[in-house]
């Protein structure tokens, strides 16, 4: 299954970024996960969900990650694609 792996840098922890990413991904029909990293970045993976998603959803998620929620200050977004086994049925926050 096509999978987008992403890393977001900047002021992205302590600003509701993970919950916002979860909500945004679900609205786009994507499943996967998001989590904080010790270096202050946020990482995650997204896959097309049972309710939709796909190339357009991946593109839109990357665009929205670059903006972030209102209190975030995104410095950069890195994204790559690979084929991976299906791993989540919904979009979750990992700790």
Which residue is catalytic, options 18, 35, 60, 62?
A: 18
73 is catalytic: no
Q: Reduced to 3 DSSP states, what percent helix, strand and coil does the chain have, rounded to the nearest 5? A: 25, 40, 35
Half-sphere exposure in the Cβ direction for 36 (13 Å, CA): 14
Which residue is catalytic, options 7, 11, 35, 36?
A: 36
7 is catalytic: no
Residues annotated catalytic, as ranges: 18, 36
């Amino acid at each position: 299954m096509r999978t987008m792996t992403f890393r977001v840098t900047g002021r992205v922890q302590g600003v509701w970024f993970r919950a916002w990413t979860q909500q945004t991904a679900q609205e786009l029909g994507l499943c996967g996960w998001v989590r904080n990293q010790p270096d202050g970045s946020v990482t995650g993976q997204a896959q097309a969900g049972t309710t939709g998603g796909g190339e357009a959803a991946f593109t839109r998620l990357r665009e929205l990650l670059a903006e972030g929620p209102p209190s975030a200050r995104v410095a950069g977004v890195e994204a790559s694609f690979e084929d991976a086994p299906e791993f989540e049925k919904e979009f979750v926050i990992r700790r």
